[in-house]
Amino acid sequence: MRFATIATTLFLLCAPLSAQDDPAPAGLAAIELERSRSCVGILARVDALDAVLEPMATRSQRLLAVAQAIALEDRSVVDSLHAEDPVEAQVRAWFIEDGTLAEQYATLGTTDIAQARADGREAIKTTVADALAAVQTEADEIMAQDSELGTEAGGCSGAIFVRKAVLEMCATATGSLCDEAKEPPSAESQFRFVESANNMWGIQDLRPWTSPGPLAPGPTGQLDGGRTVGYARVGNLVITLAFQPFLRDREEATPEELQSYQVVNDSLGLEFSHPNFAFTPALGIRVALPEPLENESSYIIHFGAPQDPDVVWTGAVGTGQPLEAMIPLSAAHVTRLQAGEPLSLAAMRDGGAGIDEPIFGIELTTINQGPAAQALLGYMASQLSADLLSLIKPGGA
C-alpha cells in the first residue's frame, strides 16, 4: 500500500513520490491531465463572467456606501455624488432637503417637520435598496445563463495544474490561466503548476489543528465556532476534518438516536440541557475525491494501521462530487482523538472473501490535535450548553 504521511508544519514542494517508495495512484495522471485541459475553458468562462459582472459589483459597492452615508446622515458624501446617476441625484436632493428641514426643526421643533424628515429618510432608503436589488437581479439573470459554471468551476478553484496540458489547450484558447501558464511563477501568480501530472502526489500541504473558540453568531447569522479543524492536501486531494458538537433538533431524532447520544455524553462527562436540541461530539468530514484514482471501491477515515483500521467513516467512490458527512463519534473515538492518535484517509479495494485491501492513503498531522480536542471537549462539558441557551432561546428559531 502507498501511504503518504504528512509530517511537517510547513508547506512543502516535495520531490515526486513516484521517484520514491510511494508512487502516485495509477489513475492520478489521467485525471489531472483532464482537469488541467478542461479548466482552461471553464476558467475562461469565469473570466468572461467576471468582466461582465465587475461593473455591477462596483455599482453595488457604491450603493452600499451611499446607503451607509444615509444611515449615518453623513452629509460629507454630497459633493462626491454623481448628478448624472438618477439614484445618486435623488440622494443628493434628499440630503439638501433634509438639511433644510433639520434647520427648520432646530428653530421650530414641530412634529410635522420631524415626521417629514422621517418619511423622506425612509423613502430614500427604499430608493437605494431597490437600486441594489435591481443590480442583484440583473447579476442573477446573467449568471443563470451559464447555470452549470459554478459547479464546473468548483473543480478548478484552488487547483494545481499541469503546465504542459494547459499550454496544449491554450494554443486555441485564451484567459488568465493561459496567461500565467506561459510565464515563470511569481509572487503575484494566481495559479500553481507542475511539469508532470505525477508530481501532484509529491505536493503536500499540512496545517495544524486549529485552536477552538466558543459558539458565536457567524457572518450569515448561523452558529460558528466551537470546533477544531485539521487539514491535509496531497496534490488536488484535499481532506478537511472538523471535531465539533453535532446539534440536532430533538423532534427530528429517533428515540434510539437520542439514547445513543446520551450514552456517549455520559461516558465523556458532558452535560447538555437545551430543550430544543440533542447534542453529541462529531466529526465533520469533507474529502475532495469525486473520481476514483486507482480502482478503489470505498474510502475510510480511520485510526490505527490501514491493514487493521478502527473505522470512523466509510465513503462511496465515484460520486462526481466532494464527499461530505457529519459523523457522531463514539466515546472511544473521542478518546483517541484527544489522545493525539492520528486519523488517516485510506482508499480500499475489495480483495475477495469479504476482506478489503488498502491501496493508498494520507495520514493527517497530529500537530495541536490533542490539545485542541481536549480544550474543545472541556468547552463542551462546561460552557456549550449555556452558550447555546444564550444564543438560541428555548422555543426560538
> For 199-223, what is each residue's pLDDT tens digit?
999 999 989 999 999 999 887 778 8
Q: Rounded to two decimals, what is the model's pTM? A: 0.77
For the residues 54-67, what does the mean pLDDT come to? 93
CB atoms within 10 A of CB 166: 24
| Dihedral sign for Cα atoms in the order 138, 142, 147, 153 | negative
Calculate the average pLDDT of the chain. Answer: 90
Percent of the chain with pLDDT over 90: 74
How far is it, in rounded angstroms, from Cα 225 to Cα 22? Answer: 37
Tell me phi and psi for residue 254, to 5 degrees. -80, 160
Q: Give the per-residue pLDDT at 18.
A: 30
pLDDT at 77 exceeding the cut of 60? yes
- Judged by phi (left if over 0) then psi (alpha if -120 to 50, else beta), residue 330 lies in beta
Answer for the pair 196, 235: CB distance below 8 angstroms, yes or no: no
DSSP structural state of residue 341: P
pLDDT at 345 exceeding the cut of 90? yes
Answer for the pair 143, 49: CB distance below 8 angstroms, yes or no: yes
How far is it, in rounded angstroms, from Cα 258 to Cα 281? Answer: 13
Half-sphere exposure of 98 (CA within 13 A, CB side): 22
| Sheet with strand 310-315: strands edge to edge | 2-5, 356-363, 343-350, 298-303, 310-315
